[in-house]
Amino acid sequence: MTFSTKMRLVAGALIGLFRGLMSDALAAPEGPAGLAGRALTIPEGAMFPLGQGQYFEWYQYFGEHRFDAGQKLELSLAIIPFAGAAAGETFVGLDDEDGATFIGIKFQDGLVNGRLPYKQEIWNLVKAAVDFGTQSYTVAVNGAETEPIPFAQPSVSVQAFRVNYSGPGKDQALGWFDSVSVASADATLLTVDFDAQLPGAQSLCPQCVLTPKPPGDNAFEPCCRNTIRPPARVDGLAGRAETTSGHGMAGDQYFEWYQYFGLRRFDSGGQLELAFYILPFAGEEAGATSVGLDSVEGSTFFELVFQAGLVNEKLAYEPLNWNAVRASLDFATQSYTLVVNGAELGPVPFALSSQSVQAFRVNHRSEGLKPAVAWFDSAELRSGAEELFNFDFDRTLPGAESLCEGCALTAEDPASSPPQVAAADRPKLTLRPTPHGMSLSWSSRPTADVLQVSASPAGPWRKVEAPVRLEGGKRVVDLQSLPSAGFFRLVTSP
């Protein structure tokens, strides 16, 4: 691209090579003509196992060149440094034949190398005059110039131009580059103008993006957002779980929710009732979602694996919709029965022999840059009359200490439209197994509450034809037989 300034530059000419010759040619540019290079970061976890932020690397090798004492070199480029919600440092440098970066120009928080101001949202014209005799360089930004800066380490050679970015956050940062040139007094070592001369794909970090675009084209499809959500609510808010990248293996998406609730022993037998709603982890290349219970030894003796539309390769589930799951565990027989959306399986033996329970867990791992997303609601574990945990995501949420570092599990409205009644004002619908079926209860209010049932959260819904009784300030419906449908809701009129 030709880059216009207040003084037109002659193609190939080395204007302002020496500090004394720098002039209005370095004034703030009016804007580029033609194409420029638009750079987009990737999640740091795609490159580094424990990375949590954003990353970019452009390493342009142009061959080894040695310089005698007294010889000079010029690096010039036009740049809009990386910007975003929480932008980090944009680093531009030159490497010598040993791979060491001896020249560094750092853009962050409106300052270059902490000294010169730059424009954070418009083009900046940058030149570095490199003197191998004094082992120093000066940097000029839009006409303002630094004093000589010593090389980071002694050097008599150059072989590569580099750009690096590292910053916090999950949102991609965007930067622009144009008219990159590295030249000596008698040769041009590198030219990248994004019109005729382009950087090779091999010069970019894997999955990093640097493409020729018209300047100002800042619209892009984010690589790393996942908008999957269920088509309707179960009851009020729900838990939206999102993976984090890295976490032990570069390029992986990972999630762990480990809910410790204290040791319970069942040496003489006993039962547990686990119930929850789930839309398992979904997204590009999303792998299995594992839901389980751990014993006192830390072993997962009960596990449900949601993958490719099947739970434990037996019962079907809906990959992009709510699924009602109930499991009844019997420590006397070391087995469980499972009901998914009304379909039943069992008894199924425990994965491992166990006489105890201490934690509920959810795990997921998959490949790719884009996070996987899952949804949970009304997760409850009971031992007889004792409630071991209950998360409805309206009033109760898991603590951050139960999630892996960088993982997210937040209470959100899964529906696209706002609720008609605020979640805190609606009665909570509670389901309890009974010896003869189950009961559903909710707080009694002076309203016309109608209990409805459906085979799917998307409907159609029908009224539950059963008597409603009052008990301890609650309205209760007893069902003698379990319906094949697995979804209940209250329709409340003010």
Is CATH 1.10.490.10 what the domain over 2-213 is classified as, yes or no? no
400: which DSSP letter? G
Distance from the Cα of residue 107 to its chain's centroid: 25
| Segment 90-144, tens digit of pLDDT | 999 999 999 999 999 999 988 999 889 999 888 999 999 999 999 999 999 998 9
CA atoms of 325 and 376, how far apart (whole Å): 11
Closest CA to 142 of 269, 277, 11, 25: 25
Within the chain, how many helices (H) and strands (E) appear?
0, 40
Burial 212-229 (b: 16+ CB within 10 A, else e): bbebeeeeeeebbebebb
Q: In what order do the strands lie in the sheet with 487-493?
A: 462-463, 448-454, 487-493
How would you write the pLDDT of the chain (494 residues) with one tens digit per residue? Answer: 544 433 322 223 322 333 333 333 333 445 677 899 999 888 766 666 556 678 899 999 999 999 988 889 999 999 999 986 567 899 999 999 999 999 999 999 889 998 899 998 889 999 999 999 999 999 999 989 999 999 999 999 999 999 999 888 777 888 999 999 999 988 999 999 999 888 877 888 877 888 899 888 877 766 656 677 888 888 888 999 988 875 555 557 888 999 999 999 999 989 999 999 999 988 666 788 999 999 999 899 999 999 988 999 889 999 888 999 999 999 999 999 999 998 999 899 999 999 999 999 999 988 766 788 899 999 999 998 899 989 988 888 888 788 888 788 888 888 754 333 333 344 566 666 666 677 777 776 655 677 777 665 555 677 888 888 877 667 888 877 655 445 666 665 44
Q: Which residues, 6 or more positions from 349, have their beta carbon under 8 angstroms from its beta carbon?
A: 334, 335
Q: Which two tokens stand for residue 479?
A: 């069902």
Domains 2-213 and 238-412 share a fold: yes
Domain layout of the chain by residue ranges:
2-213, 238-412, 427-493
Class of domain 238-412: mainly beta
| Segment 24-56, tens digit of pLDDT | 333 344 567 789 999 988 876 666 655 667 889
CA atoms of 181 and 189, how far apart (whole Å): 8
Q: Kindly report the backbone phi and psi dihedral angles of residue 124, in degrees, each rounded to the nearest multiple of 5, phi listed first.
A: -125, 135
